[in-house]
Chains A and B, each alone.
Chain A
Amino acid sequence: MVSLTINGKVVRAEEGEYLLAVIRRMGIDVPALCQHEAVEPYGGCRLCMVEITKDSWDGWKKYVTSCLYPVEQDLIVTTHSDKVNDLRRGILDLFLARNPETPLIQKLAADYGLTRTSYEAIPEPNDCILCSICTRVCDAMGFSAISMVNRGHGKEVAPPLHQAPPDCVGCLACAQACPTNYITYEDVGNRRTIWNKQFELLVCDKTGRPTITKEFADYLIKNREIPEDYFRIDDASHREELADKMGRITRWSVTEEAK
């Protein structure tokens, strides 16, 4: 255990923990857009930036992304100093230029006193904030069907060769984890379309309601030792169990949840 000071309060934390986890546990609201419980920290959005110092640092301060900074003995952390807020405002200003119409960004920016970007907003904006949660979640699921492609202002999330991704099983993990609902899919009857790829959904023997895609079921049966008829019975306990098994990354069926 190490002890450190966060916003004037002395707290204890496990060695190896990251600052952001400790800060959030204290109930302090530090924004972070690329954080997802199912995957490793990424340091992409830079919004969780905090100020750190130590008594022995002779007045020196550092600004670090708290999601990636491990706790240290005697560290003094400030989460909302004027300078930190300024840094966050600067980052949100850039986010607003990229995603001027995205509600999540608008709200966060408003929290920091910004209603519009001081830069020129990009001409045809979309809701992708490039947090890479979708691609990392896809990796965590073991499919790696999509990835970040290109770089700089051309960077985007895309399937390989911009074609229907061969490794995608239609599990919807990417769409469900997307913080801005940029990734869309369509379920019509027992057909699902995501990333321009068509899937057939299995249906429950009793209720006739769609469960998960055939490809996803095949994968789970083969790799996670789930019995073959498991996905043909649509009940709450199965949904719960599967959600637990998959680290709650993906749920059985979003259509059901929406009801």
Chain B
Amino acid sequence: MKHDLAKIPEIIGRYPQQESSLIMVLQDIQKEFNYLPCEALEQTAEALHVPLSKVFSVSTFYNAFSLTKKGDVVVRVCIGTACHIRGARQIQEQLETALKIQAGETTRDEKFTLEVVGCVGACAMAPVVLTNEQYHAQCKVHTVKKLVSKR
């Protein structure tokens, strides 16, 4: 994915230029780039009149924000209780083998990032895997690789 940093001012401009807009601005930047580029943090701090240290503090506090580049597709394996009971670890291992990376890492071609997450609130569908925002229900060890096959 090409990251067009020139888009940042437009994103910041969507909200009132004040401290209380901070999280909304960061969320939109995260959505656009899949992570928070340094330049974005600096520009946000300046535009919203918030110290850079506070912007950094907020962006490292929430799991929803990432400071490292992610792949085009973020694959999230739920390892919450219900998914764990129904074999989430095996699903995770399958994906790790298929992508040749460990959870938390991004493939070299920057196509996929693999993450494990706590409960995603869809326990009846366990085990659950998310690709970006799409939920995949009742994943099976022998078919889960399809989710990350290169198209």
Contact = CB atoms under 8 A, between A and B. Distances in A.
B62 to A, nearest CB: 9
Most A-side CB within 10 Å, residue of B53, B54, B57 = B53
Contacts of A138: 53
A151 B56 CA distance: 12
A148 B51 contact: no
Interface in B76-124: none
A49 B41 CA distance: 38
A150 B53 contact: no
Contacts of B126: none
A159 B56 CA distance: 8
B129 interface: no
Contacts of B41: 160-161
Contact of A167 (B38, B53, B60): B53
Contacts of A167: 51-53
Nearest to A158: B56
Interface residues of A, number: 18
Nearest to B38: A161
A148 B52 contact: no
A144 B60 contact: no
Contacts of B38: 161
A164 to B, nearest CB: 12
B55 interface: yes
A43 B38 CA distance: 32
A160 B52 contact: yes
27 contacts: A135-B53, A138-B53, A143-B51, A144-B53, A145-B51, A146-B53, A147-B51, A147-B54, A147-B56, A147-B57, A148-B57, A149-B56, A149-B57, A149-B60, A151-B60, A151-B61, A158-B56, A160-B41, A160-B53, A160-B55, A160-B56, A161-B38, A161-B41, A165-B52, A166-B52, A167-B51, A167-B52
Given A160-B41, A161-B38, A161-B41, A150 B60 contact: yes
B125 to A, nearest CB: 28
A39 B38 CA distance: 30
Nearest to B54: A147
Contacts of B55: 160
Interface string B45-81: 0000001111111001100000000000000000000
B51 A161 contact: no
A147 B22 CA distance: 16
A167 B55 CA distance: 13
Interface in A112-159: 135, 138, 143-151, 158-159
Contacts of A159: 53
A145 B55 CA distance: 11
Interface in B22-51: 38, 41, 51
B136 to A, nearest CB: 29
Interface string A27-69: 0000000000000000000000000000000000000000000
A144 B57 CA distance: 11
Given A150-B61, A160-B52, A167-B51, 4 more contacts: A144-B53, A144-B54, A145-B53, A161-B56
A150 B59 CA distance: 8
Contacts of B60: 149-151
A158 B59 CA distance: 13
Given A150-B61, A161-B41, A144 B51 contact: yes
A139 to B, nearest CB: 8
A182 to B, nearest CB: 17
A159 B53 CA distance: 6
